[in-house]
């Protein structure tokens, strides 16, 4: 069964795109079929996948405005070995155009339906705001992965995102859930990091990923070469962490499937 995850946090600079690119490549390394959807007008996930956003004729913008099918817009990340639904600055105009379209919250969902069965995982990189693009991602996905730094303002922003998730769940997508919270740029030597981490553990328990993504120079360098970190430096701490995260996500899904099996049988 295809799992669709939106990677979302309205706070910028928390590692959303880094997580999307490196999680996609790490899932591929475990023999999973992966599609990465870049839903951020900055197009950083597209560039980080080794695809030049300035040379694209068709992007996710064309899918959202119903100008082209998702399959027509696909690109391949040669460095990450996954499929990519790319984005560039054209996506900025999409939100305005989407407002006049019927079913504006479901445009991404409608667009990826014909692709869904081709992949084990679809990862959606959301923009750093709670706008119509993010609403489309939350409507299309099964679960939300929330990357966050362990700092005071991160907790403040988390409550706004939780409220948005709750409203989408209530009004549009009842199956939506928080898949997991991911601690990024993690430095265990920092006392505030440990304090916030303890609070997250207390409030979210099993929804908090055990894997933490450390601050890592190689992880920061890899996007400028259009590569995920596991191809740029597979032995780096960042690469090892994202491979561990992919393994943790796969195990969670397997456990959830086993837990659901008796219920389905009844």
- Local confidence band at 152 (pLDDT 50, 70, 90 cut-offs): confident
Q: What is the pLDDT of residue 215?
A: 92
SS3 186: strand
Question: What string of DSSP letters covers 25-55?
Answer: HHHHHTT--EEEEE--TT-HHHHHTT--GGG
pLDDT at 91: 94
Burial class (CB in 10 A: 0-12, 13-18, 19+), 156: exposed
Residues 6+ apart with CB under 8 A from 172: 105, 106, 135, 138, 139
- pLDDT tens, residue by residue, 3-54: 999 999 988 889 999 999 999 999 999 999 999 999 999 999 999 999 999 9
What's the average model confidence in pLDDT over 83-96? 93
- pLDDT classification of 247: cutoffs 50, 70, 90: very high
For residues 182-202, average pLDDT: 88
């Amino acid at each position: 069964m295809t799992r669709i995850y939106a990677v979302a946090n309205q706070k910028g600079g928390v590692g959303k795109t880094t997580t999307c690119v490196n999680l996609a490549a790490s899932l591929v390394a475990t023999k999973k079929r992966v599609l990465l959807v870049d839903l951020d007008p900055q197009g950083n996930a597209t560039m980080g996948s080794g695809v030049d956003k300035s040379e694209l004729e068709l992007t996710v913008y064309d899918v959202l405005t119903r100008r082209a099918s998702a399959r027509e817009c696909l690109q391949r990340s040669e460095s990450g070995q996954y499929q990519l639904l790319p984005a560039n600055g054209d996506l900025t105009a999409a939100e305005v155009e989407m407002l006049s379209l019927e079913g504006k919250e479901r445009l991404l969902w409608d667009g990826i339906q014909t692709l869904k069965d081709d992949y084990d995982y679809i990862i959606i990189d959301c923009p750093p705001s709670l706008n119509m693009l993010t609403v489309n991602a939350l409507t299309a996905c099964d679960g939300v992965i929330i990357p966050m730094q362990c700092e005071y303002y991160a907790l403040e922003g988390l409550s706004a995102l939780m409220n948005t998730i709750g409203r989408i769940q209530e009004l549009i997508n009842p199956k939506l859930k928080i898949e997991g919270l991911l601690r990024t740029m993690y430095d265990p030597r920092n006392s505030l990091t440990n304090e916030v981490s303890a609070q997250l553990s207390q409030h979210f328990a099993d929804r908090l990923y055990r894997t933490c993504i450390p601050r890592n120079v190689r992880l920061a360098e890899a996007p400028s070469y259009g590569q995920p970190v596991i191809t740029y430096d597979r032995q780096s701490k960042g690469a090892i962490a994202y491979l561990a995260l992919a393994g943790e996500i796969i195990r969670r899904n397997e456990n959830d499937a086993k837990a659901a099996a008796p219920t389905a049988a009844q």
